[in-house]
Amino acid sequence: MAADMPSAAAPRNSDLKLRTLSAIVMIAVAGTALWLSGVVWQVFVLAVSVGVLWEWNRLVRAIAGSRWARLLWLAVGVAYVGTAGEVLVSMPVLFGRLGPLIPVMLVIATDVGAYFSGRALGGPKIAPRVSPSKTWSGLGGGALLAACVSVALAFAAAGRYLAGQPVVIAKCALLGALVAVIAQAGDFFESWMKRRAGVKDSGSLLPGHGGLFDRVDGLLAVLFVAGLLVGIGRLF
């Protein structure tokens, strides 16, 4: 039995190494594009958007039952992904070179907080038929950590101004919590699409991580809602 243990562990270790290496490459590519900014960042966002739309279309082919339904789904995908991509491209111009890290850090905080609080506390599932592993305690933990990160980012950007401004601090915390809820909604939406399509991952472009859509589902939702709010603000 002892001789069999290393071989049983080998696949898991191999998968972990693959996921780690793939994550390092993804971070390096995204970080380089963000640092170079300008046209390089725009091309990077465009490439990711096209990749997500390709995976979206793959899911839609399994979901939609007619040509018109597929066209409608594709139009929704173009609007959804296109709006998110436009917001991401605009962020370095509006908030500086590192602007895109703001929503990314909030979404990461949501995922980390949800993972650890969900595992530690457990409890009722939010929508077990769509995503069996997500709990209300996980959502609460994700919202709490995202709120804390949002306040920390605000203090890092304007610490002196925020000192003695409890209302502003509370708004920053609320913003972080709302981002967490939207990110989780985006995650659920993609999980629902995959369940309807009968697949585990949206694609296989990222070794050990599935598809691009799998990795940016929550971020897409956050950026899309931000784009909608900006558009509504311009109208009124």
Q: Per-residue pLDDT tens for 42-56?
A: 999 999 999 999 999
Digit-coded pLDDT (tens) for 57-106:
999 999 988 889 999 999 999 999 999 999 999 998 888 888 899 999 99
DSSP states of the chain as a string?
Answer: -TTHHHHHHHHHHHHHHHHHHHHHHHHHHHHHHHHH-HHHHHHHHHHHHHHHHHHHHHHHHHH--SHHHHHHHHHHHHHHHHHHHHHHHHHHHHH-TTTTHHHHHHHHHHHHHHHHHHHHH---BS-TTT-TT-BHHHHHHHHHHHHHHHHHHHHHHHHHHHTT-HHHHHHHHHHHHHHHHHHHHHHHHHHHHHHHHT-SSS-SSBTTTB-HHHHHHHHHHHHHHHHHHHHHHHH-
CA 66/CA 189 separation, integer angstroms = 21
pLDDT of residue 128: 87
Q: What is the mean pLDDT of the chain?
A: 87
Q: Is the pLDDT of residue 147 over 60?
A: yes
How large is the average pLDDT for residues 34-45? 92
Structure tokens at 36: 């170079």
How large is the average pLDDT for residues 125-149? 92
| Residue 125 main-chain phi, psi, to 5 deg | -80, 150
pLDDT of residue 223: 96
- Which of 2-6, 165-169, 215-219 shows the highest mean pLDDT? 215-219
pLDDT above 70 as % of the chain: 91
- pTM given for the model: 0.87
Q: Is the pLDDT of residue 174 over 60?
A: yes
CA 202/CA 216 separation, integer angstroms = 11
Residue with tokens 């009968």: 198
Q: Is the pLDDT of residue 197 over 60?
A: yes
